[in-house]
Amino acid sequence: MSTATESPVESHEAAHEEGHDHPSDRRYIQVAVILAIVTALEVGTYFVHMPGEVLIPMLMAMMIYKFFYVAAWFMHLRFDSPLFTKFFVSGLVLATIVYGITLTVFEFWHKG
Amino acid sequence: MSDVTELETPGGSIGVYTRPKANTGWRDWITTVDHKKIGILYGATAMFFFAIGGLEALLIRLQLATPDGTVLGADTYNRVFTMHGVTMVFLVIMPLAAAFANYLLPLQIGARDVAFPRMNALSFWIFLAGGLFLNMAWIVGDAPDGGWFAYAPNTGMIFSPGKGMDYYAIGLQITGIASLISAMNLIVTVLNMRAPGMTLFKMPVFTWMILVVQFLLLFAVPVITVALFLLLFDRNFGANFFNPEMGADPLLWQHLFWIFGHPEVYILILPSFGIISEVIPTFSRKPLFGYPFMVFSGIAIGFMGWGVWAHHMFVSGIGPISVAAFSVSTMFIAVPTGVKILNWLATMWGGRIRFNTPMLFASGVVSMFTIGGLSGVTHSLAPADTQQTDTYYIVAHFHYVIFGGALLGIFAGFYFWWPKVFGHLLDEKWGKWNFWLMIVGFNMTFGPMHILGLQGMSRRIDSYSPGFGFEFWNMFASIGAFIIAVGVVVFMVNVVISARRARTAPPVGLDPWDARSPEWFSPNPTPAHNFDEDIQINSLDEFWHRKYGEDEDGRVVRVATAEEVCQDGSATDTHLPSPSYWPVVLAAGLPFVGFGLMYTLWFCVPGGALVLMAIYGWIFEPVDDPDGPHGHGGHGDEPTEDPPSEERADDASAETTEEAPVG
Amino acid sequence: MIPKSLRRSPSPGRLVSLAIGGLLVLTGCAAEAPLDTLEPQGPISRSIDSLSDPIFLVAGVVFVIIFGATAIIWWKFRDDHSTDEFPHQLHGHFRAEISWTIGPAVLMAVIAVFTLLSHFDLNSEDRTDIVVSVDGERTSWDPEVLVVGQQWWWEFRYYFDGLDGLDLSDARNLPPADIVAANQLVIPTGSEIGLRITSRDVIHSYWIPALNGKRDAVPGRMAPWKIEAETPGVYFGQCTEFCGLSHSRMRMQTVAMDPADFQLWVDQQMKPAVEPTDTAALRGRAIFEGQCARCHVVNGINDGGGADLVANAAPNLTHMMSRTTFAGGIFDLYEPDGSLNRTQLEAWLRNAPAEKPAYAEGRRGMPAMGLSESQIDDVVAYLQTLGTAPAMDVITATEVD
Amino acid sequence: MRPPRPLRRPPLADTAAVSHGHGTGTGLSDNKLLMWVFLGSECLLFGGLISTYLIYRSRFGDGPAPGDIFDIPFTSVSSFVLLMSSLTMVLALSALQRGDIRNNRIWLLTTALLGSLFIGGQVYEFTTFVREGLGYSTSPFSSAFFTLTGFHGVHVSLGILMLMSLLISSLRGTLTTERSETVEIVGLYWHFVDVVWIFIFTVIYLVPSPTS
Ligand code: HEA
Ligand code: HEA
Ligand code: CUA
Ligand SMILES: [Cu+2]
């Protein structure tokens, strides 16, 4: 099977050259530690009482951070072609908008 | 289909590690991964379903020809119109578009095949499995009866206790998988496999429109997938997604369906827009007017199509603010569509137009679609739509856009590309009869429906009483429908007659229409390997620009003949993807899984086994069979010498292999 | 309201809509087309019409432009083989493109303004209380009627104390109403009547084209809507959301009466069923109690009894004779001469699903009751005691068959 | 007469974004592109399921409410497990890219095991919920909850299947550095499933749910 899947052939190298080297394992572990800390913070909110107006934005911020952190490092979006990011983000954005509107029509935000 | 000429020794060929070798005969059609054959399979299958959907339409028109019609009876009528809608949308227009996309897209971008040839075959077989599964409901005697948009809770177990809606849900689910696979495949193909020099903005408009459609499919299909799953779980596993008695909201279904459904209507129309954007310049002898605007308006339609779905729900009680927002967003779709219409007119304007059959159909699209689009705009005014919705005025709208827009465009494509595909032209005289019968019959059928609708005739009624003023125009429309049918039959006759005549007549030649886009670089019919060598693309309409230049007075003059420009298809040493059994095996498993969900889970076992076996067979199948058709061993490695760069790229695209362990 | 300048008489709209069909032939007039959407009979439907007509006109103009251009193209730019020369190779024209992008956008923006005005007007409420006397007491009624769709007929419930404070969350178990009518909504002329539309089973759609557009009846939801008639008369309607087998036979009428007549109607409806005197009717009542009362309510006999049906309701028959149609508004209850349409009613009692397809065995619709001919006669005699016949003009105006 | 010159070509709005090397193609691997395109599509699938859940989360009828039965500490642990499986997944890939077949196998196996642990947790959660009276048919909430998390679980299970296939392939000696892209693609899928869970965990579990 090999790498014959790329076309044109030599641009395979090009794609690699343009990105940086893949991060080291150590770096991956650092990323995981950070993710773990954020998760701990997230879970921590469950034990502390907070008004919703504070809690929910906080949770959302942490979630989005984790989401994109994983995508950037583990899924290599940081190093890979921006085209991948475009596909993924266009799916995400479209989903967010479309379903956001749907929830609005269902008055989800009012009812909470 | 060619005759069976070569019989295989079955022993060696069904193993997991060899690939089928037949190059002719039925086995070739089963195992082919050639995008052209797959395109033809798509087209033939879709036309078969068109005959079914059309017969259903004729039954509808028979039933409605007179008041208190008794041809079908209420129950059958409901099944017939449901299946008519579902068949026409999912099993006719979409696969016809897929037929053109499969056949032409690789040719238009100068590629040897699509990026994932086996997956391409897979998507066809899955589509066929889904279509047959759906129509199986007729044989079982329990066809779906909930309308094509299947509003809950009428489709729930309480109100639709038979198996019909399960056939609907599972059948569409299966065809959805096919669309999704094909969408992913074609997107990668367009992005990665264009001929040298073909930047995105040198791609033919047809390719562009197909690309937009694939993105629409990519994002819209999962939405209906969700909806269909929820429906299936409601009906079979006791879930409560659409059961108001348990506190569910039936409008959820409507949202999910139309979030898919509105992009879907642009999925139906954009391929046709692409086709006529190729036909009109060719026959007007002018370049397409405003190419960038044509491309951007197509993209804009694709985008805006996501923000208007609730215009199908103006009266469902979603609240005035939502209705207002969707009403306004819908109106503005008229803008990019209008750009297209006007650019086609501007392309024709000042041209020297040959009204051959493809051009007749294309010009028909421009006018007929406009009628449908304009009635669409009248629906988009929410207050007005409260009077129009669910009447024949809507039926008129969508048949004008779908028949007058999508289907006529597809017929334009048939006549235009027939020589490319089959090596002979369709007869012009029969073609003109075909066109005029269809256009007259079509307007007779659906024109009066505007009147009927505004006079208050509801849609989806199996009969109407005398005294509402519906009699005359219904009879009129029914007559029209049969005139359409004659038109369709004329087309079929034309196909047969032309094929017969072609056996003795001289071949069609390289460039019957004086065409413009790169698919015509290869001879007609297209040889198995498409192109002998890569084409260097320097401009849009490269093919035309190689034929014509400009003299010092600025006049267009011929600089080369088609023979000089075209390739002769003589290359023999090209490497083609090898055929495979696994796509058809995998697809065959799915209906069993479907039956399992409906009747007894035991059916899932053989189904699941087939699917799994196929997946593993697929993965372990050698990517290229060294003895495969036109295969020449040793190509698995990169060529060691330093061949001309075109050939290298060529080679790479020939080896469009797939790993496929994922996705 | 739509500004005066936008108001047009219905005819241009009609003509243009015909042109859209490519058929410049005039069709039958309103009298023969009781569902016509272009013949508004009340202020609400007229305001819709005054939005629709201009837009048909706009569409017609665009249509003429496009078709005109196409005709010129066919005629002028056809290849007549007079020359071999190629036409001027024009690739595009930026200003033209921009103008035909902006032009329609501006046009649509203008249309959008009028649409929004009309839309919010259509969705506003402008009701004034109506004084009705209920049981001899003058009540000021906020005129709102509860409209309940079910397979395949409509129920109308009047609560003269208003709908506020009632628990309407379960359409199959609604609080007792002052008046429960079926298939014919009776309203006073000259007042905006609020409707609250819901369903007991699947989605239906309530539509009286002459008085207003549609609104879906969605189970679990209560949709606000309204109608208003100017002149007394019978206005026809049809359920327009596909609701299963007999969707086409789910029709309805709205009977608009001037307020005095409406008061008389209310008085009648408020009366309980009268005690039958004649022996056939008495026998009929016994049959009714035995076989029909498990589904149908007759006030004073089985008020509040739940129906043995998926939808949990069958038409309330207390004042059946005061209606002019039955079974989802598809059959005449009276002959043109004002006598009972006995044939049809008997056929109905003999075998209802044969008259109007229903899944009676699935408890959807009225089953064939298996009554003997003499029993049917008795039941008919009993049914005839239920309510008083409406005025002759209403009977003639309704004729549905 | 001098030879005709080429026609004026149409003005083209070329975009630089796509012009790599030859001016065509993206220069990216077909397979990886395919996976990303697919993941874009999956966003709409999960989006639909999540919205369905959100619309129905307060429609629990007489059955248990989400706020009554969610066991946040438990789910936190299994979420953490899934999160860490993403780490082991990249480690597997990076090992293979270095040619370290042994570590590649170890990390692949660990990832599959962590994934299975997560699935095990989900099975446990489901059975507990059922015991507490939250069946699949109990309410729109329950149907939506089980469907959403079930779909996610099926995705994880398919991922485990792929990982095991890779492992088998590795044991047969066919999973070499040249084929690291296959591992990368399976990894993309795996991380996506993880990322979806990050979303689900926050929005469905941590954001306070209605109680009865
Ligand atoms: C090929 C499919 C297709 C296409 C392209 C369209 C195109 C459009 N559709 Fe249509 N539609 C359907 C298929 C399609 N539709 C189907 C199948 C249904 C019914 C589903 C069902 O209920 O079963 C439906 C239903 C439907 C409804 C719901 C009606 C109802 O049920 O109440 C609405 C409402 O807004 C609508 C609007 C539009 C609009 C505004 C466009 C626009 O895109 C049209 C734009 C085009 C033009 C306007 C013409 C050209 C423009 C010019 C010449 C420029 C100048 C013009 C102006 C400034 C006005 N459509
Ligand atoms: C997508 C494309 C599409 C196409 C092409 C058509 C084509 C036609 N449709 Fe279609 N129609 C729909 C999509 C389409 N329809 C949809 C989505 C609905 C809504 C369904 C719903 O409400 O749920 C609908 C509903 C619909 C209705 C309304 C039903 C109702 O509401 O009660 C009517 C009524 O006249 C109708 C008529 C026709 C007719 C006469 C044709 C004709 O143009 C058909 C012409 C074709 C033929 C006549 C075939 C000729 C073939 C032969 C002669 C074959 C013979 C050969 C052999 C046997 C080998 N259609
Ligand atoms: Cu009720 Cu249609
Ligand atoms: Cu739409």
Quickly state the pLDDT bin for B19 (edges 50, 70, 90): low
Residue D182 lies in a domain: yes
**Domain harbouring D186, CATH code:** 1.20.120.80
Chain C positions with Cβ closer than 8 Å to D: 89, 91-92
Residue B44 identity: A
Q: Annotate C169-206 with DSSP letters as a single string.
A: S-TTSPPP-SEEEESEEEEETTS-EEEEEEESSS-EEE
Q: Closest Cα to residue B270, out of B223, B337, B331, B224?
A: B337
In sequence order, what are the residues at sequence separation of 6 or more whose Cβ sits closer than 8 angstroms to the Cβ of residue B36? B102, B103, B421, B526, B528, B530
Q: At what angle do helices B392-401 and B357-380 cross, to 10 degrees?
A: 140
Q: Which residues, listed in sequence order, are joined to residue C172 by a DSSP beta bridge? A: none
For chain C, domains (ranges, CATH) are: 12-80+91-122 (1.10.287), 279-398 (2.60.40.420)
pLDDT recorded at residue B16: 47
Q: Which residues, listed in sequence order, are joined to residue C154 by a DSSP beta bridge? A: C149
pLDDT recorded at residue B587: 94
Q: At what angle do helices B35-65 and B117-140 cross, to 10 degrees?
A: 20
Contact: D10, B200; criterion CB under 8 Å: no
- Rounded to whole angstroms, the Cα distance separating C30 from C119 reads 25
Residue that has been written with the tokens 């199959």 in this structure: C172
pLDDT recorded at residue B625: 52
Neighbouring chains of A at 3+ CB pairs under 8 Å are: B, D
Partner-chain residue, chosen from A8, A91, A102, that has the shortest CB–CB distance to B652? A8
- Rounded to whole angstroms, the Cα distance separating D50 from D47 reads 5
Quickly state the pLDDT bin for B15 (edges 50, 70, 90): very low
The percentage of residues in chain B with a pLDDT greater than 70, rounded to a whole number, is 90
Whole-number Cα distances in Å, B622 to B123, B276, B444, B625, D203 = 20, 41, 56, 6, 45
Other CB atoms within 10 Å distance of the CB of residue B657: 22
pLDDT recorded at residue B92: 97
What's the residue count for chain C? 401
Q: Between B458 and B12, whose confidence is greater?
A: B458
Digit-coded pLDDT (tens) for B196-223: 899 999 999 999 999 999 999 999 999 9
Exposure string of B345-380, with b = 16+ CB inside 10 Å and e = fewer, is: bbbbbbbbbbebbbbbbbbbbbbbbbbbbbbbbbbb
Q: Annotate B380-428 with DSSP letters as a single string.
A: HSHHHHHHHTTBHHHHHHHHHHIIIIIIHHHHHHHHHHHHHHHSSPPPH
Q: Between D14 and B36, whose confidence is greater?
A: B36
Residue C276, exposed/middle/buried by CB under 10 A (0-12, 13-18, 19+)? middle
**β-pair type (C251-257, B548-550):** unpaired
Residue A9 lies in a domain: no
Instruction: Tell whether the model's pLDDT for residue A1 goes beyond 70.
Output: no
Q: Annotate B628-641 with DSSP letters as a single string.
A: STT--TTTTSPPSS
Helix (H, G, I), strand (E, B) or coil at C65: helix
Residue A101 lies in a domain: yes
Instruction: Tell whether the model's pLDDT for residue D7 goes beyond 50.
Output: no
Contact: B556, D165; criterion CB under 8 Å: no
Average pLDDT over chain B reads: 89
Domain count for chain A, please give it: 1
Which DSSP letter does residue C364 get? B
Are B212 and B297 a contacting pair, CB within 8 Å?
Answer: no
In sequence order, what are the residues at sequence separation of 6 or more whose Cβ sits closer than 8 angstroms to the Cβ of residue A20? A79
pLDDT recorded at residue A107: 84
pLDDT recorded at residue B338: 95
Digit-coded pLDDT (tens) for B144-171: 999 999 999 999 999 999 999 999 999 9
Mean pLDDT across the stretch D153-173? Answer: 94
Contact: C92, D10; criterion CB under 8 Å: yes
Range of the domain at D181: 72-212
Instruction: Tell whether the model's pLDDT for residue B126 goes beyond 80.
Output: yes
Contact: D187, A74; criterion CB under 8 Å: yes
Residue D47 lies in a domain: no
B25 reaches C (C-beta below 8 A): no
Are D12 and B540 a contacting pair, CB within 8 Å?
Answer: yes
Q: Closest Cα to residue B27, out of B9, B39, B40?
A: B9
A97 reaches B (C-beta below 8 A): yes
Instruction: Tell whether the model's pLDDT for residue A4 goes beyond 70.
Output: no
Range of the domain at A37: 23-108
Quickly state the pLDDT bin for D23 (edges 50, 70, 90): very low
Mean pLDDT across the stretch B651-662? Answer: 35
Chain D residues near residue A64 by CB distance under 8 angstroms: none
pLDDT recorded at residue C209: 96
Nearest protein CA to atom 60 of ligand 1, as residue: B376
Residue D152, exposed/middle/buried by CB under 10 A (0-12, 13-18, 19+)? buried
- Rounded to whole angstroms, the Cα distance separating A29 from B415 reads 61
Digit-coded pLDDT (tens) for B323-354: 999 999 999 999 999 999 999 999 999 999 99
A103 reaches B (C-beta below 8 A): no
Chain D residues near residue B557 by CB distance under 8 angstroms: 4
pLDDT recorded at residue C1: 30
- Rounded to whole angstroms, the Cα distance separating B152 from C221 reads 13
Other CB atoms within 10 Å distance of the CB of residue C190: 16
Are C318 and C386 a contacting pair, CB within 8 Å?
Answer: yes
Residue B557 CA, chain-centre distance (Å), reads 37
Quickly state the pLDDT bin for B21 (edges 50, 70, 90): low
pLDDT recorded at residue B659: 36
Q: Between B7 and C301, whose confidence is greater?
A: C301
Quickly state the pLDDT bin for B506 (edges 50, 70, 90): confident
Q: Annotate A13-48 with DSSP letters as a single string.
A: HHHHHHS-PPPPHHHHHHHHHHHHHHHHHHHHHHHS
Angle at alpha carbon of residue B252, lines to B250 and B257, rounded to 5°? 110
Mean pLDDT across the stretch D104-130? Answer: 96
B329 reaches C (C-beta below 8 A): no
Domain count for chain D, please give it: 1
C69: left (phi over 0), alpha (psi -120 to 50) or beta: alpha
φ/ψ of residue B109, rounded to 5 = -100, 10
Angle at alpha carbon of residue C91, lines to C89 and C97, rounded to 5°? 140
- Say if C and A touch: at least 3 Cβ pairs within 8 Å: no
Residue A57 lies in a domain: yes
Instruction: Tell whether the model's pLDDT for residue D3 goes beyond 80.
Output: no
- Rounded to whole angstroms, the Cα distance separating A77 from A65 reads 14
What tokens does D62 get?
Answer: 């007489």
The percentage of residues in chain C with a pLDDT greater than 70, rounded to a whole number, is 92
- Rounded to whole angstroms, the Cα distance separating B458 from B392 reads 6
Chain A residues near residue B249 by CB distance under 8 angstroms: 106
Residue A8 lies in a domain: no
Q: Closest Cα to residue B60, out of B477, B408, B448, B410?
A: B477
Contact: A4, B322; criterion CB under 8 Å: no
What tokens does D54 get?
Answer: 């959100």
Which DSSP letter does residue B113 get? S
Nearest protein CA to atom 1 of ligand 3, as residue: C204
Q: Between B638 and C91, whose confidence is greater?
A: C91
Helix (H, G, I), strand (E, B) or coil at C137: strand
Instruction: Tell whether the model's pLDDT for residue B651 goes beyond 80.
Output: no
**β-pair type (C130-134, C137-141):** antiparallel
**Distance of residue B69 Cα from the nearest chain D Cα, in angstroms:** 42
3-state secondary structure D76-119: HHHHHHHHHHHHHHHHHHHHHHHCCHHHHHHHHHHHHHHHHHHH
pTM summary value: 0.92
Residue A88 lies in a domain: yes
Q: How much of chain C is helix, strand and coil, in % rounded to 5?
A: 35, 20, 45
- Rounded to whole angstroms, the Cα distance separating B170 from B177 reads 11
Helix (H, G, I), strand (E, B) or coil at B466: coil
Residue D118 lies in a domain: yes
What tokens does C280 get?
Answer: 């056939």
Nearest protein CA to atom 2 of ligand 1, as residue: B265
- Say if C and B touch: at least 3 Cβ pairs within 8 Å: yes
Are B446 and B400 a contacting pair, CB within 8 Å?
Answer: yes
Mean pLDDT across the stretch D152-164? Answer: 96
Instruction: Tell whether the model's pLDDT for residue B623 goes beyond 70.
Output: no
- Element of type H or E holding B71: none
Chain B residues near residue A101 by CB distance under 8 angstroms: 307
Helix (H, G, I), strand (E, B) or coil at B32: coil
Digit-coded pLDDT (tens) for B168-200: 999 999 999 999 999 999 999 999 999 989 999
Residue that has been written with the tokens 């004026």 in this structure: D8
Are C376 and C346 a contacting pair, CB within 8 Å?
Answer: yes
Are B64 and B467 a contacting pair, CB within 8 Å?
Answer: no
Instruction: Tell whether the model's pLDDT for residue B629 goes beyond 70.
Output: no
Residue A72 lies in a domain: yes
Residue A18 lies in a domain: no
What value of ipTM does the predicted structure carry? 0.92
Nearest protein CA to atom 13 of ligand 2, as residue: B85
B328 CB near ligand 1 (under 6 Å):
no
C162: left (phi over 0), alpha (psi -120 to 50) or beta: left
Q: Annotate D116-182 with DSSP letters as a single string.
A: HHHHHHHHHHHHHHHHTT--TTS-HHHHHHHHHHHHHHHHHHHHHHHHHHHHHHHHTT---GGGHHH
Residue C127, exposed/middle/buried by CB under 10 A (0-12, 13-18, 19+)? middle
φ/ψ of residue C66, rounded to 5 = -65, -45
Mean pLDDT across the stretch B268-297? Answer: 96
Which atom of ligand 3 lies closest to the CA of C241? Answer: 2
What tokens does B207 get?
Answer: 């390719």
pLDDT recorded at residue A111: 58
What tokens does B324 get?
Answer: 């207002």
| Max Cα distance, chain D (Å) | 94
Which residues of chain C register pLDDT less than 70? Answer: 1-31, 304-305, 401
